[in-house]
Amino acid sequence: MKTTVELPDSLLREAKRVALRDHTTVRVLIERGLRAVLNPRRQAGAFALRKASFRGDGLAAGLSLRDWDAVRDLIYSERGA
């Protein structure tokens, strides 16, 4: 695919000098530069939420999530509290 990129004259001159010295092309330098910027972002990857499920059958019969005192008492009753 071809595209047009507008660069400041001084930057293009410097890129041409580097390309000549390194026996490559300005196109390759631009591609390397873009990869250098984009690769770390790609490696960071998308956020993935870890699995945080637990065993059990859900809320015990007769309890309501609105009754936090009863839920807390049940949670800690098995821990000697």
20 in any annotated domain:
yes
pTM, two decimals, is 0.51
Nearest to 3 by CA among 27, 35, 33, 36: 27
77 in any annotated domain:
no
For residue 73, the model assigns a pLDDT of: 86
The number of domains in the chain is 1
65 within 8 A of 59, measured Cβ to Cβ? yes
Rounded-to-integer distance, Cα 45 and Cα 47, Å: 7
34 in any annotated domain:
yes
Tens-level pLDDT at each residue, the chain (81 residues) = 889 999 999 999 999 999 999 999 999 999 999 999 988 777 666 777 888 777 777 777 777 888 888 888 888 887 775
